[in-house]
Amino acid sequence: ARGTARAVLGAHWRRRLEQGPGPLPQLARLVGSVPAAPRGDAELVHLIDRLIAARGGAPSSAPPPAWDAPDAGPLRFFRGCANDGLLGATSRRLLAALRHAGHTVTVPTGQDCCGALAAHTGRPGRAGTLQRRNREAFGVGGPAQGPLVVEAAGCGLELADTLPEACGPILDAAAALLAAPCPPRRPVPLRVAVHDPCHGRHGRGLGADLRALLGRIPDLVWCEPVEIEVCCGSGGAWGLRYPEMSATLARRKAADLAATGADLVVTTNPGCLGQIADGLALERPELPILPATDLWWYAVRSDVG
């Protein structure tokens, strides 16, 4: 109850800032749209267990059967600024899930920001510098070291546009998990609404892999919002440039997702995660949103660390 009250009061405070003079609307969007996810594994487990119990279900306390994962081959991992800095626990859980599926995952040194924000804010020189660093980090022997897995849809689109083919294929996290051997899963009897980031859905034609991955979780039902093609209003730096339109889209997207009757929302981009969470704080504060890979980790985890 206290968490819900904090969400409502925080959203009300941000709405007042959005109507203020000068830079206050931009500040409100910045404060409100910072992405967040449970930092502790036990916190994440408690959240999803609570949602299952609220539907009258019984969370599974027994771990899935032990399994001997086959060798699924090598992968390389792109950290990404927002995920690395703000969603580090989610990245750690994704790495654990990939390794649990049998992959040998390396995190190449020398990698940097994908350059998307620099490009979007009119700094082509800075974007070019970052792109060169990533070409160097991922280009040497890249394909032999496996595909490059990218967590954030925005980073995936930027890297797909700027890295040469010699650096090897680029996979979003859902595609990488779907292609791997499938470990035993615990049931997750929830209705889950899926939000596709524009970078992935419109920019790269992604979305089917995530739904196929969720379909592997026993008892889980994924549901689609009516306005599946509509942007959430984040759009990288766009939400800071046009805070009023961004806030309107956030509330519109949150209402559309809530109308599905879902118990949980998932997405695959940190900007969308924070933006939709901000809209949900006003429209449906009891409806949580998580990175999609955190839900997969919950289903396949063997213990809580």
pLDDT for 47 equals: 96
pLDDT for 1 equals: 37
First to last CA, the chain: 26
pLDDT for 42 equals: 94
Residue 29 has pLDDT above 70, yes or no: no
The letter for the amino acid at 174 is: A
Q: How confident is the model at residue 35 (pLDDT cuts 50, 70, 90)?
A: confident
d(CA 168, CA 216): 27
| Tokens standing for residue 63 | 């771990």
pLDDT for 239 equals: 77
pLDDT for 172 equals: 94
Where is pLDDT greater, at 291 or 234?
A: 291
Q: How confident is the model at residue 209 (pLDDT cuts 50, 70, 90)?
A: very high
Across all residues in the chain, what is the average pLDDT?
87
**Residues 100-126: tens digit of each pLDDT:** 999 999 999 999 999 998 998 889 999
> Residue 104, Cα to own-chain centre: how many angstroms?
22
d(CA 190, CA 288): 12
The letter for the amino acid at 217 is: I
Residue 8 has pLDDT above 80, yes or no: no
DSSP string, the chain: -HHHHHHHHHHHHHHHHHTSSTTHHHHHHHHHT-----SSHHHHHHHHHHHHHHTT-----SPPPP------EEEEEE--HHHHHH-HHHHHHHHHHHHHTTEEEE--TT----SHHHHHTT-HHHHHHHHHHHHHHHHTTTGGG-PEEESSHHHHHHHHHHS-GGG--EEEHHHHHHHS----------EEEE---HHHHTTS---HHHHHHHTTSTT-EEE--TTTTS--S-TTTHHHHSHHHHHHHHHHHHHHHHTTT-SEEEES-HHHHHHHHHHHHHH-TT--EEEHHHHHHHHH-SS--
Among 118, 125, 154, 159, residue whose Cα is nearest residue 142: 159
Q: How confident is the model at residue 3 (pLDDT cuts 50, 70, 90)?
A: very low
Among 165, 152, 139, residue whose Cα is nearest residue 90: 152
Radius of gyration of the chain (CA): 19
Q: What is the percent of the chain where pLDDT is above 70?
A: 86
Beta bridge partners of 194: 266
Q: What is the percent of the chain where pLDDT is above 90?
A: 60
**Residues 138-195: tens digit of each pLDDT:** 985 555 678 999 999 999 999 999 988 878 899 999 999 998 888 899 999 999 999 9
pLDDT for 4 equals: 43
**Residues 252-275: tens digit of each pLDDT:** 999 999 999 999 999 999 999 999
